[in-house]
Amino acid sequence: MLSYELIHPDLLRALAAAGHGSRILLADANYPHSTGAHPAAARVHLNLRPGLVTVEQVLEVLLDAVPLESAAVMVPGGVPGDVVAADEAIPVHAVYRAALGDGVAWETMDRFAFYAAARGDDVALVVATGEQRVYANLLLTIGVRQAEGVI
């Protein structure tokens, strides 16, 4: 038995196979999980019911499991009539930024740019969640694990 916060076998397997520069898509319940990511990406379905499991809950566990260098979120835009909103206009983004801290680069993308990035061949893992908040998708890039004692 693992004495570690992350114990989901499929998540552990996918993370172990990923490396520096690989991306993880934490997708909300409205995201097209089967068509909105690279076909070779591992898919883990944690969307038990609406609101369970949330992207925030998955992020909390991942932060302890892998180093992250950057994060990207989807914002309105890319569709005629859409207005690109300020980051602060989407409350869940502030939650993610607080959890990630200052050491993780932050990027916003309009809907179609986000979909294109999520379909990239560097996406190693898609986690389908039951997240109900709007624009709650989060695309994470795995960083480098620092050797102990190295400054």
Three-state SS at 140:
strand
Given the residues 8, 20, 33, 45, select the one marked as catalytic.
Answer: 20
**d(C-alpha 79, C-alpha 50), whole Å:** 26
80: confidence class by pLDDT, cuts 50, 70, 90 = low
CA distance 143 to 91: 26
Look up residue 58 and give its amino acid: V
| Between 1 and 42, the higher pLDDT residue | 42
Q: What is the value of pTM for the model shown?
A: 0.90
Q: What is the DSSP string of 41-53?
A: SEEEE---BTTBS
User: Is 20 noted as a catalytic residue in this protein?
Assistant: yes
Distance CA 99, CA 81 (A): 32
Residue that is written with structure tokens 């068509």 in the block = 35
CB 105 within 8 A of CB 111: no
Cβ-in-10-Å burial (0-12, 13-18, 19+) of 46 comes to: buried
User: Could you tell me the domains of the chain?
Assistant: 20-142 (3.40.1650.10)
pLDDT tens digit string along 28-47? Answer: 999 999 999 999 999 999 99
